[in-house]
Amino acid sequence: MDIFQQSIAGFPAFITYFLISLVLLAIFLFIYLHVTPYREIQLIRDGNVAAALSMSGTMLGFTIPLAHAVAQSVSIPDMLVWGVIALVVQLLVYLVARTLIPGLSTDIPAGKAAQGAFLGILSLSTGILNAACMTY
């Protein structure tokens, strides 16, 4: 078997894991966008930096552990379990942030960048820790 055939042999697994990862990301975004009381996408379209910072950090905070789950998993069900764990952790981060900053639900739509940055960095930091803890 030449090098090209060896390389392309993993393509079906790549496509499967990639598509499932995109579905998990879509599910996460759907849930997250319905959990928050403001409309991030519209706020971002309107140029709201706070919404962009919080949403970007949250997406990274989910995709980093999801990527680690893909890399570490031994099967699709294994990846799905850890992907769902990453999803739940990020939703909990948002709830904790709302507890730490009670005005978060109004501050981000108001464009307060500090609150958006805090939520984004909290989400990203937790995602990095979440990924590091997925050593099995």
**DSSP string for the chain:** --HHHHHHTTHHHHHHHHHHHHHHHHHHHHHHHHHSSS-HHHHHHTT-HHHHHHHHHHHHHHHHHHHHHHHH-SSHHHHHHHHHHHHHHHHHHHHHHHHHSTTHHHHTTTT-HHHHHHHHHHHHHHHHHHHHH---
Percent of the chain with pLDDT over 70: 99
**The pLDDT of residue 1 is above 80:** no
pLDDT band at 135 (very low <50, low <70, confident <90, very high): confident
Give residue 7's pLDDT.
79
Give residue 10's pLDDT.
86
- Determine the Cα–Cα distance for residues 68 and 92; give it in Å rounded to an integer: 19
pLDDT band at 136 (very low <50, low <70, confident <90, very high): low
Q: In this predicted model, what pLDDT tens digit does every residue of 95-114 receive, in sequence order?
A: 999 999 999 999 999 999 99
Tokens found for residue 88: 């739940």
pLDDT band at 6 (very low <50, low <70, confident <90, very high): confident
- Determine the Cα–Cα distance for residues 111 and 43; give it in Å rounded to an integer: 9
Please tell me the pTM assigned to this model.
Answer: 0.91
